[in-house]
């Protein structure tokens, strides 16, 4: 193994340790309560050593957010494999819920903790997230084109409604808020199916997407070549 390859592996190992410790601490204590010094103490490093890898606590969060969104993207893409546009929409959002239960630490940082930095402040570093959100909108548009949803439905609005409908069951599952014997997955599935049925019925909507990402998932700027339905 060459010197550069060895150094790269050592750097990857250190950054993985830093991010792992930060993820645990941010989840357990809340983003605002965790300092660089506390992260350094968890992995027995000096704060100065941490700063040689990340310039601030915000940079550590953004690296964790990038990891989390890549995991979510992989999960969603793996669920959209059928020839049925409506089932692809259903599968996409069920994958979002499953991600919340399989990766609760990432989910809480990405969607629940309000003290973390807004992704829009570093939007240029998250082009893959813009593409992921645009594909979620396009999946709904394909279902509209196939006649599964009314043609008047805004795919941006529908995307927001599907996301908002599942945030509740996802948080209930992560925080274990149901009574003993109650089925978290059944609740999430019923909410998803009810939301899709409502959209199919042509229910009137009043929400208008601003096509920006303020907190959590929201309508994103659309990369060149990606279709956007006119609102």
Domain that holds residue 80: 66-231
Phi-psi region of 147 (alpha: psi -120 to 50; beta: other; left: phi over 0): left
> Which of the pair, 221 or 49, is modelled with greater confidence?
49
82 and 50, same domain (yes or no): no
27 and 135, same domain (yes or no): no
pLDDT reported for residue 213 = 43
73 and 43, same domain (yes or no): no
137 and 227, same domain (yes or no): yes
Domain count, the chain: 2
* CB-based contact 80:60 (threshold 8 Å): no
* pLDDT for 127 beyond 90: no
Mean pLDDT of the 202-231 span: 56
> Which of the pair, 113 or 99, is modelled with greater confidence?
99
Cα 162 to Cα 192: distance, rounded to the nearest angstrom: 7
pLDDT reported for residue 195 = 98
Cα 220 to Cα 8: distance, rounded to the nearest angstrom: 34
Q: What are 34-76's pLDDT values in tens digits?
A: 999 999 999 999 999 999 999 999 999 999 999 999 999 999 9
Question: Do the domain assignments include residue 24?
Answer: yes
45 and 151, same domain (yes or no): no
45 and 111, same domain (yes or no): no
117 and 14, same domain (yes or no): no
101 and 167, same domain (yes or no): yes
The CATH number assigned to the domain holding 39 equals: 1.10.10.60
């Amino acid at each position: 193994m060459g010197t550069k390859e060895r150094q790269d592996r050592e750097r990857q190992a250190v950054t993985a340790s830093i991010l792992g410790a930060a993820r645990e601490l941010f989840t357990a204590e809340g983003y605002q309560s965790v300092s660089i010094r506390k992260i350094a103490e968890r992995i027995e490093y000096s704060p100065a050593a941490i700063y040689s890898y990340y310039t601030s606590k915000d940079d550590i969060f953004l690296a964790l957010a990038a990891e989390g969104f890549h995991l979510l993207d992989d999960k969603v893409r793996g669920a959209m494999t059928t020839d049925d546009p409506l089932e692809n929409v259903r599968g996409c959002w069920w994958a979002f819920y499953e991600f919340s239960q399989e990766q609760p630490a990432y989910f809480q940082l990405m969607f629940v903790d309000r003290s973390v930095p807004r992704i829009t402040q570093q939007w240029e570093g998250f082009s893959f997230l813009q593409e992921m959100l645009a594909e979620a909108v396009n999946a709904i548009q394909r279902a509209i084109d196939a006649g599964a949803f009314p043609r008047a439905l805004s795919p941006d609005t529908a995307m927001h409604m599907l996301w908002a409908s599942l945030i509740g069951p996802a948080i209930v599952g992560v925080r274990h808020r149901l009574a003993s014997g109650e089925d978290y997955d059944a609740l999430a599935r019923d909410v998803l199916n009810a939301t899709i049925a409502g959209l199919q019925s042509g229910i009137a909507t009043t929400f208008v997407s601003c096509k920006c990402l303020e907190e959590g998932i929201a309508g994103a700027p659309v990369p060149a070549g990606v279709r956007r339905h006119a609102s």
